[in-house]
A and B are shown apart, each in its own frame.
Chain A
Amino acid sequence: MQQLPKSIDKTSELLASEGYVADRSLATLTYLSLTLNRPIFLEGEAGVGKTELAKVIAKGLGRDLIRLQCYEGLDTSTSVYEWNFAAQMLAMRNGVGEADIYDEKYLIKRALLKAVEPHASGPPVLLIDEIDRTDAPFEAFLLEALSDFQVTVPELGIIKAQEPPIVILTSNRTREVHDALKRRCLYHWVDYPDFDREMKILTARVPEAKQALSLEVVAFIQKLREEDLFKRPGLAETLDWAKCLIALDVVALSPDVITDTIGAVLKYQDDIAKITGGAATRILDQIKQDMQALK
């Protein structure tokens, strides 16, 4: 089992080794969460790397990643456990007694139960994704599960984690999550990265991209975020776009290229119309001027 990082710097290195460029405050938060066994609550716009953090921590520490994708109407049978009734029925017909029917082999384990069970590689990383998509009853249920790291199966008893899992919750803020839940977590607002960090991330994630093109892409996206858009492009869009441009063998941005590939960056028709209708050329000229000035 891999050791937990012993300092904030070590945490930073761990995340970087998996290609996740975290700023200092996110590294601090991760370190705190690992040391104090507190869940992390990440909030922010779509595509800024919230879910990715969980994946990277799991990979970096060599732990299992258990993902619970939230949706409205999520309940115990879909998040904790369910008895395999059909199998139980068949077993009863074959003469298995009432007492033996509640055996673990008839138990279908869902994400939360899996997370509190012992794992060979150490406590797993539990990712509760897009918690804002679920409803208040499930949030209330999570309160218990997250504060004691235990779940109850009435027929079997309480199952308590010997070592608490590393829990990461994410939210896109399409709904305000209740304060009681947030208070049990370390809260962090994940913002769009600044130019330098976005450059570093792009280099780490899409190493095949040429330096000149990367610079242009990041500068363009950074400028795009200042425009009056309905949905500003996230980090995920930057990476997608860079990959698209490489696939098309593009070496430098031009208005035509932007018009052809803007679907990778903007996902609303109004936004696309706004940018392809003149704004793209303006932003591109501005970037070229800025780069000239730098040289």
Chain B
Amino acid sequence: MTSAAGTLPDNIVYFVRALRRAGVPVGTAQILEALRAVSVVGFTNRLDFHTTLRAMIVTRAEHLLVFDQVFTMFWRDPEFLENMITNLLPVITAPPVDPLMEPARNRAAEAMASGGGKPRCAPQQEQLEIDAQFSHSDVEKLSEKDFDAMTAVEIYAAETAIRTMGLNLPKVPGRRYGLAANAVQIDRRRALQGARRSGGEMILLPKRRAKPRRLNLVVLCDISGSMTSYSRMMMHFVHSVAQFQGQSWAAVHGFTFGTRLHNISPLLTIKDPDAALRAIGSHVRDWEGGTRIASSLGDFNMHWARRVLSTPSVVLLITDGLEREGIAKLESEMARMALQTRELIWLNPLLRWERFSPQAAGIRAMLPYVSSLVACHNLDSLQELSDSLRNGLHADHKKRLIGMLK
């Protein structure tokens, strides 16, 4: 590192700091490695210097562009760099309030105002019992109520209910094996290992079975105008499912679409539901706008399906299916997506009407390709989806509707 002496190491550190501000995560170890690499390559050729730093610092293709821009800005003008850093310094020493923390703070404040402010004279135990009963009956009442018709208070209660719901899934046999007493397949490796211990005599025949593996969940959620009253609830639902990641799903990927497709998977990892929803709200630009289901699905098939559906996956498609144009394209995109998924489940809030029939062209085009069609307009229907996924039995409207089509 001695050959890279002088101000270069400092500058690299400043540069990395600017990069981090631009959203590229860089570890300290990477900086040290980068300094070493620069000292090996030398600081003579701008292109080599650029490549060296990039190879050491960037680990994801989507960060390459950011890196290149910051690099150009940074190493063009050292004065500019100085200014930039001095401008940055006060921010670093006194970090602003983390916007992600705000909703949590709001809720804490609310809790203090409602709970903490209550007079303490009432006997506490009795109070608690009454509270529990009330909240229980609240959920009972809410569960059949359509999300569309809820008041703000009821919506808040429903959100809380959704948060604790989760979404259990079926497990499928994986490619790794584990010991199982009542399996059929003999674990030859272990049997021979055991025989070696007993001097070459096979006494036990251990059995093995494929260990169950978890599936990936991919959620595609329509957020166009016609879905307005449901999309917020659905976002809560998706977030709560994503928070259960690792317990029931191998990975959860989320996408929203209205007129364009947005990947919201990174935002779903934010723990606080309100903060996550706020982040999604500012990331996604086409809330409550028009809808272009076919082109959004096409975009998904083209750019994302190959990355998120390469391992066995369940796809939840949340949309009312009210597509006006490009029915042929919609059909071909649905066909392509169905080929790549283990199960393609369509959640449609329109099923809230008892006498719903598949009249719209978009719905008729999509229906044959989904493996099942489930309602999603109230808490009950979501619970039904959760239960049916686990049990492999679907409260299936698909057969009924396909029958109607014929």
Contacts and interface: CB of A to CB of B under 8 A. Distances in A.
Given A35-B40, A72-B175, A86-B192, A28 B307 contact: no
Given A25-B51, A29-B51, A85-B193, A72 B311 contact: yes
Contact of B37 (A36, A43, A92, A173): A36
A89 interface: yes
A137 B195 contact: no
Contacts of A182: 59-60
A30 B109 CA distance: 56
Interface in A175-232: 175-176, 179, 182-183, 186-189, 230
A72 B56 CA distance: 28
Interface in B193-223: 193, 195-196, 199-200
Interface residues of A, number: 39
B174 interface: yes
Given A32-B37, A36-B40, A73 B196 contact: no
A250 B356 CA distance: 61
Nearest to B301: A230
A75 interface: yes
A51 interface: no
Secondary structure dominating the interface of B: helix
B105 to A, nearest CB: 30
Secondary structure dominating the interface of A: helix
Nearest to B198: A92
A73 B176 contact: yes
A119 to B, nearest CB: 25
Contacts of B54: 25, 187
Contact of A174 (B47, B51, B192, B307): B307
A85 B51 CA distance: 49
Interface in A1-60: 8, 24-25, 28-29, 31-32, 35-36, 38, 43
A22 to B, nearest CB: 11
Contacts of A135: 175, 311
B383 interface: no
Contacts of B186: none
Contacts of B193: 85
Interface in A69-105: 72-73, 75, 77, 85-86, 88-89, 92-93, 98, 101
Interface of A: 8, 24-25, 28-29, 31-32, 35-36, 38, 43, 72-73, 75, 77, 85-86, 88-89, 92-93, 98, 101, 132, 135, 137, 173-176, 179, 182-183, 186-189, 230, 270
15 contacts: A24-B51, A25-B54, A28-B48, A28-B52, A28-B55, A77-B189, A93-B200, A135-B175, A137-B176, A173-B61, A174-B306, A175-B308, A175-B310, A175-B311, A186-B56
Smallest CB-CB A-B distances: 3 pairs: A73-B175, A85-B192, A182-B59
Given A24-B51, A29-B51, A189-B64, 20 more contacts: A25-B47, A25-B51, A28-B41, A28-B47, A35-B40, A73-B175, A75-B176, A85-B189, A89-B196, A92-B196, A92-B199, A92-B200, A135-B175, A173-B307, A175-B308, A179-B60, A183-B27, A186-B56, A187-B54, A187-B58
